[in-house]
Amino acid sequence: DRVHMVSALSLKDKGEFALYASEDDMQKAILAEPSLLEEDFKPISFEKKVEPGFVDVYGVDKNGRLVVVEIKRKTAGKEAVLQLAKYIEAVKTRTNREVRGILVAPNIARDTQRLLETLGLEFKALNPKKCAEILKRTETRGLEAYLGREVSS
């Protein structure tokens, strides 16, 4: 009255998982290709220690202003804006130069734009997938330069 079955199957997992880029990867992409942020942006350092934490990317714009960049991998909310504002205040205490703040994320929460504008900060949309593609291209280009020839995939 019982039915037993034994099966031997050859299964293939054809599902794709893509974690495009972490915040670190987004940071590396900006450092590798600063024009992702804006034309003529020049990174000076990354993970710069300031009193409330670490600035993701620190640089200079085409007008010589210091730029503090805060990167978020997902939708940026008010917390990210306030964090960026704290970093800017910390940097301003160390310099007499003008300091800009740019929040980088795929998008921002609906209620966040007004706070950004009120604090005089900027938003730059950057897709983690694009960052992953840039890093992949940069790694390939680096290998080609090292070998002195084209690398076939």
* CA distance to 30, 67, 78, 119, 153, per residue, from 38 (Å): 10, 11, 23, 20, 31
- pLDDT of amino acid 5: 79
CATH of 23-147, one of 3.40.1350.10, 3.40.50.170, 3.40.50.300, 2.60.40.10: 3.40.1350.10
pLDDT of residue 144 exceeding 60, the answer is no
**Tens-digit pLDDT profile for residues 77-123:** 999 999 999 999 999 999 999 999 999 999 999 889 999 999 999 99
pLDDT value at 143 more than 90: no
| pLDDT score recorded for residue 152 | 46
Query: ∠ CA 51-53-55 to the nearest 5 degrees?
Result: 105
Residue 126 has pLDDT above 80, yes or no: yes
What pTM, to 2 d.p., does this model score?
0.78
Domain boundary assignment for the chain: 23-147
The residue-averaged pLDDT of 51-73 equals 95
pLDDT at 153 over 50: no
Q: When comparing pLDDT for 98 and 52, which is higher?
A: 98
- The confidence band for 17, taking pLDDT boundaries of 50, 70 and 90, is very low
Q: How far is CA 114 from CA 93, 99, 108, in A?
A: 25, 20, 11
**pLDDT for the residue numbered 67:** 98
How far is CA 104 from each of CA 1, 64, 74, 108, 123, rounded to the nearest angstrom? 65, 20, 10, 9, 6
Q: Which two tokens stand for residue 83?
A: 């964090």
Paired residues of 45 in beta bridges = 58
